[in-house]
Chains A and B, each alone.
Chain A
């Protein structure tokens, strides 16, 4: 059929439409918020739904056209910003089986969540703000998925991160969500450093930052990259650092349960469905590197297994539904990271798509969890109480008590990070900040009639006066 013929021009148009539409809607909605008059919820909701539906239709067209074409991987050069004669910023998109799968999942889920949110957030004070961020997120996620270079992937990565932290702090007049947002922001910055390090190294080693040229013109599923194993190891470990931050892997997983303080639809979309899997997508895109380096693969396996065990044990003692689901998500994503270490890439894609759909449904159902539990309890009232599992009975009681205590405290990972990294860093920063203050204090004029040793500071003088 002629209308589904995939040419460079039609592919460019469709791929751009997928993420440009939400990109344009976000500032339009943002400008409406800043007006003095409160905009109507219906207009905001309809505009978002229309835009996301159009984006989904473009994605669908691209999928159908791609499936009927002979292309394995289609590189789309959109723009080339020449910064110097030798260096430019390539705006290149890549359409292949992996990116199309993730693009389609993102599009459909975004429309569903937008529809759900219109009713769920009705008359919430931040209704319009939420939809601005939703559009920014969808634009960022689609850009991340369709990116043909690490530079462009980083742009999408940042947009996803920004919308994520602003939605964690959605209930901005409460302290908990704001602290959660700051924690997520700091973790994301650590993740960004890892990704940027890796991207710069790839660009340096392969003289290209686009996936096709960097990894040897092979479409996905991947073949080993053409680079030394030692370099691949370093890049792989850096990528794992970024994945540990973005996809909440051990020991940087503490932010995800706290991120659940945001509105339920955003929790479902970000931390159940898409954002938390952005790290897995990065690993899948970078799979040729893990095929080269055994050390990086072992590191991925170790990271995934440790995360899965930790999250499973901690998740079992959580008392609220969203936290429990958060830890379940961390455990499943940990298994995906471990599978990347075992080079089971196709299995990871299947697992990821299935997990995205299941977790989205579970998180969207969470507000009704209490009623569900009551109904379930009523239905099972006649049955005998459930017995502890075989493993639980086998373990000595002292150990289970100890394990229970550790799980309740999340194995003290957050406290250890705080006392070993954050507090010493802030202490050093405070000491350094004293340098300027002390220098200025030594130049303060001494008040008449007092020696420098006894002169009061401004604060002391104010206290004495009061």
Chain B
């Protein structure tokens, strides 16, 4: 199984290198479709073998110290599979020419980094994978910054992501400087006792993953990335977020374990309040965004804050809700990005306040956007709905204030997403003359992305009980 997984990731990396020598956009298209399908098949096969064996598989580190470069457990494998599915959908759905060869290369590298974030519990691998994801996203952002405003925004995003990158570097350096290879193992942080180095590494781990989840005051990089970066790296930025939640789920209780009982209570309460403020901030800012992708970025940031709050509660409901919430936000975010890209390639712009009236010309685009938007805001039956339900149950006992804030934030996000839908697909819009060419609606190949992601979300609803069983264990 591990061989399957490593082989599929290795092929992706080789393909990324090979993409350097490919100039034709059609060849890039074929290449990315092949790679995505290969990654999907690899992950599917690994899941099948895991189901057959039902065991944790570890690949020992180079020095044999017990750390796992790849630890494929029942809890992590479904995430890998959904990641592979989402990337496949992305590769197939993005129209030819929408992702340049360079961006595709970064997407492939970012995919490998993200997969390692899901699969590994090895501190050095986690740090390096985090760096790979950050660099692949920011490199694309910088390349596409052609105006002064864009450069300013890329610098701001770079500044914020730089904090995460520094944290990752500190993690790697700490692990390498540690006297024994035990510091490479994630479990070595338990209890919070011991020297300063493990504690520093723990803080670095939490900060790195916290920044990547874009809560206040680090929220700016996500909307900027979704708006300015090309669809591939932007999707990788979103897909890597559930991995950060998984790591935080491991790291935050250990960080709390290092604090005294009194300060632990204060820390948890203060974190819950801060996260609610963060969620409310992003939700309110999303309300007044013109650009659809930025609005999606702020909504995802707001939902990430709620997910972190679920982890902070320390309850089973909160933890399961956090994972489901982060997965839901990431996958619907990618789907909405694909649809938004489809709108832009046809209408030439995406502005939520323009009343473009696009539903007249492209009803499939409208239906895909509406379904994904409803899934994102937790419409009943969606993954986010169950996640919010669990989150409320997890928060209500310990932090009633936070529980009620979740409802208000969810309502604001709902208004934002439906406003985006109405702004783009309803209204008088542009009057087209009879001679004007209207591009065709989404084709079946393009529909694979959004429909595939909706399928993933539906499958994840069924997986929710499995996730909870794993957390209980």
Contacts and interface: CB of A to CB of B under 8 A. Distances in A.
Interface of A: 30, 33-34, 36, 81-87, 89, 151, 154-155, 158-159, 162, 165, 169, 172-175, 178, 181-182, 185-186, 189-190, 192-193, 196-197, 200, 203-204, 425-426, 428-430, 432-433, 435-436, 439-445, 447, 457-458
A445 B151 contact: yes
B355 A82 contact: no
B389 A172 contact: no
Given A34-B363, A440-B149, 10 more contacts: A34-B367, A83-B464, A84-B320, A173-B357, A173-B427, A185-B422, A426-B287, A428-B284, A436-B156, A443-B152
A193 B408 contact: yes
Interface of B: 147-149, 151-153, 155-156, 159, 219-220, 223-224, 281, 284-285, 287-289, 316-317, 320, 355, 357, 359-360, 363-364, 367, 374, 379-381, 386, 389-390, 392-393, 396, 403-404, 407-408, 411, 414-415, 418-419, 422, 425-429, 441, 464-465, 468-469, 472
B289 A433 contact: yes
Name A's interface SS: helix
B316 A84 contact: yes
A141 to B, nearest CB: 14
B284 A432 contact: yes
Contacts of B357: 172-173
A447 B367 CA distance: 45
A445 B224 CA distance: 17
Contact of B415 (A189, A444, A458): A189
Contact of A433 (B285, B360, B441, B472): B285
26 contacts: A34-B441, A83-B320, A83-B386, A84-B390, A86-B316, A155-B381, A162-B374, A169-B426, A172-B360, A172-B427, A173-B427, A173-B428, A173-B429, A174-B428, A186-B415, A189-B415, A190-B411, A193-B408, A196-B407, A200-B392, A439-B220, A440-B152, A441-B152, A443-B152, A443-B155, A458-B149
A444 B379 contact: no
Contacts, number: 152
Nearest to B392: A200
B305 to A, nearest CB: 14
Contact of B148 (A36, A442, A458): A458
Contacts of B153: 440, 443
A203 B389 CA distance: 11
A458 B428 contact: no
Contacts of B379: 158, 162
A155 B316 CA distance: 24
Contacts of A36: 441
Contacts of B360: 172-173
B468 A83 contact: yes
A178 B355 contact: yes
Contacts of B468: 82-85
B226 to A, nearest CB: 13
Contact of B281 (A151, A159, A182, A432): A432
Contacts of A174: 428
Contacts of B364: 34
Nearest to A195: B407
B147 A158 contact: no
B148 A192 contact: no
Contacts of B408: 193
Contacts of A439: 156, 220
A155 B156 CA distance: 41
Contacts of A155: 380-381
